Amino acid sequence: MRIILTGPKGTGKSTLGAKLAELLGAPFLETDHHIEHLYASFHGHGGKKTCREIYRAEGEKVFRELERRAVFDLATRDWCLISTGGATMLDCDVRRALCENSCVVLLKADEDLLWKRIAAAGIPPFLEGDDGPRKNRERNATIYEAIARNADLIFTVTDENEARAHELLADELSSWFMLKMCSPSTFGEIIRTTTFGESHGKALGAVLDGVRPGVDLSEADIQAELDRRRPGQSKVTTQRSESDRVEILSGVFEGKTTGSPICMIVYNRDQDSSKYETLRDVFRPGHADFTFWKKYGIRDHRGGGRSSGRETAGRVASGAAAKKILASRGVQVTAFAQEIAGVAGVKEDLTIIENNPVRAADPDMAHDMERAVIEARKHKDSVGGVVKLLIRNVPAGIGDPVFFKLDARLAMAMFSIGAVKGVEIGAGFSAARMKGSENNDAMAAGSFLSNNAGGILGGISTGEEIVLRVAVKPTPSIELPQKTIDTGGAARTISIEGRHDPCIVPRVIPVIEAMAALVILDAMEIQERMK
């Protein structure tokens, strides 16, 4: 990322650029200096000339060619501030090279002020003559027209703000960078997924980018995973009967991915927003109503809008594609309910997970877990639980220290799911109570003798099974009366009617698998490119 400072003659690019670069601690590069440097390097000692002298001596054609070369040289530099003339940016190849991966700042100023400054500095050859001011105005209009649509920031320089222009611009740049770096609905580096939509909006879905071309992918592949997440499947999930039919809008041709973004959409069909009318100005305890209101000052109260569990439909759609690709590489991602309402499973029979409503892996405890959920619903309450996630056959060496450690990325992925309140990797919190001699996974004959590390050491996969435990809180929306306040701060009591999951665990399982699959596939793609 670099900053390009451009604009017509007289906007003070050099002075402002130098001060701004110093303030930002970035190297300052000027195309004019680079042109002079290139010219000197071609002509030896006799070639030491200013841009104006080069222009006069060599003519426009040679000068513009030199200018192109200078720009293409500078365009290879990262993190720096490049000041370049507005006229240089009229060449569309130059513009493309400079604008890529840059923040382009267009400087503007009043025409009279610009001409005053040009006259003071000495009128350049192409503006000489009585009609200089008119020629300059026309030239500037062309510059503005060409650059404005590529500019990220437009800053107007005046006599009054000149002394502080670098500070004002630094403030604007920092806001721009903050927003640029922040894409809170997009996840992943190479395998990037962006989810969109609200609970009671027209549709939800995801755009999945970075998938290689030629992968077999159909709506049926995505639908199978969405059906696992879909509400209304049993007595332990919400009775909303959302059909959640997925349509692939792009990125797949004749059953194969094309390498373009894959857009998957699920239209909302069973949305009864009238039930939410009483919640328009009331905050549901345990839900995100209060915080969304504080942050955005506006809130879609219908089903929680973006904070609804329905947002996860898009994640599951993208995750379905990731799971399919991983499966073709032998990697399996499986999650199940290990504990619900304090009823814990011990056995781990992965073949029974989809055969019981709570998605438990212990055939002896599944029924008790189910009963605990039904009991909670009967009492107009809800319960939480623990989901265990197993990722098998991930090769050793996946994960990118330091900030993209595999465990860090998995934890972030899990915590991005609503209602997730804790993540343990391997022995997790119990490692805090072990001795080193107990916790360390000894090695023999090329592998590990135990797996307290949960398949990750130093943020990199060990080749052992990756094991996570995810704590899921009880569903916030309950029918029992609760104290709360409204947007005016007045005390209210609410009882949330409507169709809510008495326990989120069974439906969050496909979401957990989806997010894990996206992390692992992304990390594997990063590793592929590192080789």
Ligand X SMILES: Cc1cc2nc3c(=O)[nH]c(=O)nc-3n(C[C@H](O)[C@H](O)[C@H](O)COP(=O)(O)O)c2cc1C
Enumerate binding residues for ligand X (CB under 6 A): 238, 287-288, 304, 307-309, 312, 417-419, 473, 475-477, 500-501, 504, 507-508, 511
Q: Which is nearer to ligand X, 188 or 502 (CB)?
A: 502
Residue 309 C-beta: closest distance to ligand X, Å = 2
Residue 419 C-beta: closest distance to ligand X, Å = 4
Burial class (CB in 10 A: 0-12, 13-18, 19+), 233: middle
Q: Which is nearer to ligand X, 289 or 362 (CB)?
A: 289
Residue 443 C-beta: closest distance to ligand X, Å = 38
Residue 417 C-beta: closest distance to ligand X, Å = 5
CA-to-CA separations, 461 to 187, 223, 281, 465, in angstroms, rounded: 20, 30, 47, 9
Burial class (CB in 10 A: 0-12, 13-18, 19+), 362: buried
Q: Which is nearer to ligand X, 357 or 399 (CB)?
A: 357
Residue 484 C-beta: closest distance to ligand X, Å = 13
DSSP-derived letter for residue 322 is H
> In angstroms, rounded to a whole number, what is the distance separating the alpha carbons of residues 479 and 481?
6
Residue 193 C-beta: closest distance to ligand X, Å = 16
- β-partners of residue 29 are 82
Task: Give CA 307 to chain center in angstroms.
Answer: 16
Q: Which is nearer to ligand X, 312 or 462 (CB)?
A: 312
Q: Which is nearer to ligand X, 133 or 498 (CB)?
A: 498
Q: Which is nearer to ligand X, 307 or 356 (CB)?
A: 307
CA-based max dimension of the chain: 96
8 A C-beta contact, residue 22 and residue 82: no
Residue 384 C-beta: closest distance to ligand X, Å = 10
Residue 388 C-beta: closest distance to ligand X, Å = 17
Residue 69 C-beta: closest distance to ligand X, Å = 54
Pairs from 167-173 (Cβ < 8 Å, separation ≥ 24): 167/23, 169/16, 169/20, 169/105, 170/20, 170/23, 170/24, 173/3, 173/24, 173/103, 173/105
Helix ranges (DSSP H) in 379-474 = 406-415, 436-439
Element of type H or E holding 319: helix 312-328
* Three-state DSSP state, 244: coil
- For 159, other C-beta atoms within 10 Å of its C-beta total 11
DSSP-derived letter for residue 474 is P
Q: Which is nearer to ligand X, 82 or 204 (CB)?
A: 204
Q: Which is nearer to ligand X, 195 or 238 (CB)?
A: 238
Nearest residue to ligand X, by Cβ distance, number only: 309
Task: Give CA 268 to chain center in angstroms.
Answer: 24
Supply 85's token pair.
């003339």
Q: Which is nearer to ligand X, 394 or 503 (CB)?
A: 503
Q: Which is nearer to ligand X, 308 or 461 (CB)?
A: 308
In the chain, the amino acid numbered 452 is: N
Residue 303 C-beta: closest distance to ligand X, Å = 8
8 A C-beta contact, residue 266 and residue 244: yes
φ and ψ at residue 452, rounded to 5 degrees: -65, -25
Burial class (CB in 10 A: 0-12, 13-18, 19+), 205: buried
